[in-house]
Amino acid sequence: MMTVNNELTVKYIDQSIALQSWENCIKFIADIATLSYGNLEARNPERLFTFLLEQEHYSVFEFVRVYDYTLRHHFELVKQIIKTEPKKAVEWNKKNVATFYLKVPIFVARQIMRHRAFSYLEMSRRYVTAKKIPFEFYMPDIDENLKQEIIQFYQNASELYQKILQTAKPEVARIVLPVSLYTQFYMQGDRKAWSNFLYYRLQNNVQPETRIVAEKIYTILKELWPDFSV
């Protein structure tokens, strides 16, 4: 199954929820981690959380940030703060950190991810096949005749992907997928990181799709932080 659209999705994620209790923290980590594997939600948060610890898959732990500490690098300290002073931690987080979920074509995601002051967690087509999450491809606003050719190209790529899967793993089959394929990821940063990102990505010479994403993020941040500036 294949679909084509031109939507650019930006959603604010209230990461401070993870700081309200240790149980909330575990569920938040599990919910984010499952994106990489194509599940809509973590059915057993505690089990997945334990698995991430055992396998030392700590990257997702960067998304729980308290003051100058992250769960990844200061596990016991962050855990103690969440258990002893959650209200204070939540208040600080809401004023200083913002997390977004983005669903955009790969070529937009790669431009965004050039900004390295953020924590990212992206859906991986190494694990997520089209059976788990069907392919969606971006269609720019161009000549209608060209659109039909592009759709046929997308169809051919999707069929070739399925053909490769018959004898190879998804991590191999994905090589035929174009950068117009939609990807999904979480992106978290502090005020300084967001200000720097928006300074560059709101410029008029930025590719329109990437600028639209930046504009959506800026609108949300101004509502979240009225004193925020670029």
Structure confidence at residue 40 as a pLDDT band (50, 70, 90): low
Q: Please state, in angstroms and rounded to a whole number, the distance separating the CA atoms of residues 108 and 198.
A: 14
What is the β-pairing status of strands 2-5 and 135-138? parallel
49: domain CATH number is 3.30.1360
Q: Give the pairing of strands 9-13 and 119-122.
A: unpaired
How far is 91 from 36, CA to CA, in rounded Å?
29
- Structure-token match 């967690």, residue found: 121
The residues near 187 (Cβ < 8 Å, ≥ 6 apart) are 99, 100, 102, 112, 118, 119, 120
**Per-residue pLDDT tens digits for 74-129:** 999 999 999 999 999 999 999 999 999 999 999 999 999 999 999 999 999 988 88
Closest by CA position to 68, among listed 90, 85, 93: 93
Residues spanned by the domain of 92:
2-123+181-224
Per residue in 171-217, pLDDT (tens digit) is 999 999 999 999 999 999 999 999 999 999 999 999 999 999 999 99
Residue 13 covered by a domain: yes
Query: What's the mean pLDDT in 9-24?
Result: 97
Count of the separate structural domains present in the chain: 1
Residue 109 in any domain: the answer is yes
Residues with catalytic function:
201
Helix (H, G, I), strand (E, B) or coil at 163: helix
- Look at the block and give the residue holding tokens 């209608």: 144
